[in-house]
Amino acid sequence: MKHVLIIGGGTAGIMTAAQLLKGKNFKVSLLEPAEYHYYQPAWTLVGANAYNFDKTRKSMASIMPKGVNWIKEFAENFHPENNTVETKSGQLISYDYLVVAPGIKIDTSMVEGLTEAIDKGVVCSNYTDPEFTWNVIKNFKGGTALFTQPTTPIKCGGAPQKIMYLADDYFYKKGIKKDTNIIFATPGGVIFGVKPIANTLMDVINRKEINVRYHHALVKVDGDKKIAWYKITKDPKVGGCVILEDKSTDNCIDETINYNPKKVKITKENGLYGIHFDMLHLAPPQTAPEFIKNSVLSNDAGWLAVDIHTLQHEKYKNIFGLGDAAALPTAKTGAAIRKQVPIVVENLTRLSNEQSISTKTYNGYSSCPLVTGYGKMVLAEFDYDSNFTPDPKLKQMLVFNSDKEHWRLWLLKKFMLPYLYWNKMLKGENV
């Protein structure tokens, strides 16, 4: 019986192991040092006091598929020519086939001052401590509430917006919305890459009177002075348009950089623009883990080099990669993994039995549930070409336009998706 070694006990690793064991064709080992497994998609709701953090965590032992040889070690080095992986303790583990799914690493060192500032004072992140995020939001008294994201890929690209829309709702209910300016600073030039979803989100932006700052690359955070420093990556329109100044807005405003402008305190220094804030929520920079970046399996950008359709490694044909560490030009979400796992499992089965992979391919499907307030959500489903591809099953929930806000989609996010995750996906069922 062939041996499959899986690196990573996150969504991708557990799902792959569970599906492989259902076929009873392989001996499966899984390399994962963590004691707990987290359902991170719910952390947005935790940060808005709409979900219990404890319900997002289960012991790794409780979700490990029956029959897996669980190796509680860190992967350290790859030796693909010898079909072995070296652990941090120096142990060599051999394999016939290798599945690499270690997830993504948060790297606060990529933004100056962020390591010192994050999860302290009024600087928070759902990616690191969603319970602290809620403390910051509920203690906010008004002023400038800044929400931002980095220039790197991140888990669920829509997450930095979701907590902003929920915070806006909370500020309104608390009666401090009139004393608050909400800013969303993003390095991109659009609110979302899928046009029907972007249209709806711009309606939300306008309704909530949120100031969007496009082409803003975060380079430094001063937690003590409460200033986030940005490099503007696009020149303003010709004509001396105002892009950031907090003075008169009578002049031309370049809305491709500063949309729905607000008068907030801005400091310009050494070519950077500093936005003064009274609270800051951000998605920190994220990269592939070091042992991936520094390995022979990575591409020039440090991500796992796999074919974007077959998920087979570009050089080593008995290695497959999926999930957040893989170099796939789509959103890094659990929904994407849900579609990637069956491709990897079928390819491994075919490769073992017939020495060739399946003709089935991954089209880049991903999904981002975009919460737009308490009780409201839009569901973005799309492929590599950013085509909007809603699941026909949504009609069973009486949702016929998932690119529009709907309360039933909120129920899907809060109740149905966690249930499906713990009880179906992690048990190897295709949902």
SS3 180: strand
Exposure on the CB side of residue 280, measured as CA atoms within 13 A: 28
What are 355's two structure tokens? 């020495």
What are 68's two structure tokens? 């897996």
Question: For the purposes of burial, counting CB atoms within 10 Å of the CB of 146, is it exposed (0-12), middle (13-18) or buried (19 or more)?
Answer: buried
Is residue 184 within 8 A of residue 164, CB to CB? The reply is yes
Among 124, 241, 252, 368, the active-site one is 368
Report the C-alpha gap between 403 and 195 in whole angstroms: 10
Which among 180, 240, 247, 236 has a CA at the least distance from the CA of 213?
A: 236
Say whether 241 is catalytic. no
Which residue has tokens 């693909």?
80
Q: Which residues contact 406 (CB under 8 A, 6 or more apart)?
A: 376, 377, 378, 399
Say whether 124 is catalytic. no
What are 398's two structure tokens? 């009486």
SS3 56: helix
Q: Which residues contact 270 (CB under 8 A, 6 or more apart)?
A: none
Among 124, 156, 241, 252, the active-site one is 156
Please identify every residue annotated as catalytic. Answer: 156, 368
